[in-house]
Amino acid sequence: GAGVSQSPSNKVTEKGKDVELRCDPISGHTALYWYRQSLGQGLEFLIYFQGNSAPDKSGLPSDRFSAERTGGSVSTLTIQRTQQEDSAVYLCASSLTASGISYEQYFGPGTRLTVT
Amino acid sequence: AQKITQTQPGMFVQEKEAVTLDCTYDTSDPSYGLFWYKQPSSGEMIFLIYQGSYDQQNATEGRYSLNFQKARKSANLVISASQLGDSAMYFCAMRDNNYGQNFVFGPGTRLSVLP
C-alpha cells in the first residue's frame, strides 16, 4: 500500500518568503507528526496531531511556524518569512494510535528546504 | 519528562561481527513502548524493532535484537553479523501515555561497518 508521501521533495526559497510543505499520511493513521532534521543531526520534534484532539505544538520553534491538518488526513506545515536557519529536512510521519502505544511511526521521504 | 539517552555518537564495527548500540530512557509511566529506527545516508527512516514495557521476552527481528533491561531502563539494540549496509544513523525512541502517546527520540548513534 501507499506510504507517507511528502511534497515537494526539494524546495529552494529566498529568505523572507513563505513556504508550504505537504504531508499525506497513510490512510487510516490517526496520528501525524512533523520533525525537522538538520544535516547530521537528530530529529527535532515540531508538532503532533492526534485524531480530533488539539495538536501538540510544543516543538514549534517560533510563531513563524504553523501547521494544520484538514479532515484528519493531509497536513500542511507553513513557514512564514523564512530564515537561513530554517534550512533543513522536514520529515513527516504517521502512526496508528487509538489506545495503543505499540504502533510504530511510518516516515515520509522528507522535504529538503534550502533558504538562500 | 521523558528522555532518551544514546551515549555513543559514533561506533565502528568490523563486518560480520556483532555490535551493541546503547539506549537508556526515563519515564514514570509503567506502560511504554521502545522503538529503534535506522536512517541510512539516503535519509529515509526505517523502523527496525519494537519492545513493549510489559513484554516478557526481548524482541527479535532477524539480525536485530533488543537487550531490554527494565530495571536499568535500558533498551540496547544488538545487530548480529554486521553488514556494510548496516552503516547508518540509529535512533532509539520511546512512546508512553504521559506525553499523549507522542514519540521521544534520542540523539542517535552513527554506526560505521568496516570491510
Burial B34-61 (b: 16+ CB within 10 A, else e): bbbbbbeeeebbebbbbbebeeeeebee
Question: Number of A:B CB contacts under 8 A?
Answer: 54
Query: Which chain B residues contact residue A110 at CB under 8 A?
Result: 43-44
For the stretch A15-63, pLDDT in tens is: 999 999 999 999 989 899 999 999 888 899 999 998 888 898 999 999 9
Grouping H, G, I as helix, E, B as strand and the rest as coil, residue B99 is helix
In this prediction, the residues of chain B whose per-residue pLDDT falls under 70 are 1-2, 99-100
pLDDT of residue A39: 85
For the stretch A90-116, pLDDT in tens is: 999 998 875 567 788 899 999 999 999
Please indicate whether, in this complex, the C-beta atoms of A101 and B108 are within 8 angstroms of each other: no
By the 8 A CB rule, do A68 and A76 touch?
yes
> Which of the residue ranges A1-5, A74-78, A103-107 has the most confident prediction, judged by mean pLDDT?
A74-78
Q: How far is B77 from chain A (nearest CA, A)?
A: 16
| Beta-strand pair A10-13/A111-115 | parallel
For the stretch B28-57, pLDDT in tens is: 889 899 999 999 998 889 999 999 999 999
pLDDT of residue A78: 98
Q: How many Å apart are CA B37 and CA B82, to the nearest integer?
A: 16
pLDDT of residue A53: 85
pLDDT of residue B47: 94
The closest alpha carbon to A111, from A2, A6, A38, A3, belongs to A6
Give the mutation candidate from A29, A104, A106, A113 for the B interface (greatest B CB count, under 10 A). A104
Please indicate whether, in this complex, the C-beta atoms of A104 and B50 are within 8 angstroms of each other: yes
pLDDT of residue B1: 59
By the 8 A CB rule, do B94 and B27 touch?
yes
Grouping H, G, I as helix, E, B as strand and the rest as coil, residue B69 is strand
pLDDT of residue B102: 79
pLDDT of residue A54: 87
Cell of B96: 508512553
Query: Which chain B residues contact residue A33 at CB under 8 A?
Result: 102-103
Please indicate whether, in this complex, the C-beta atoms of B33 and A102 are within 8 angstroms of each other: yes
What does the pLDDT average to over A77-94?
A: 97
Residue A79 has pLDDT above 90, yes or no: yes
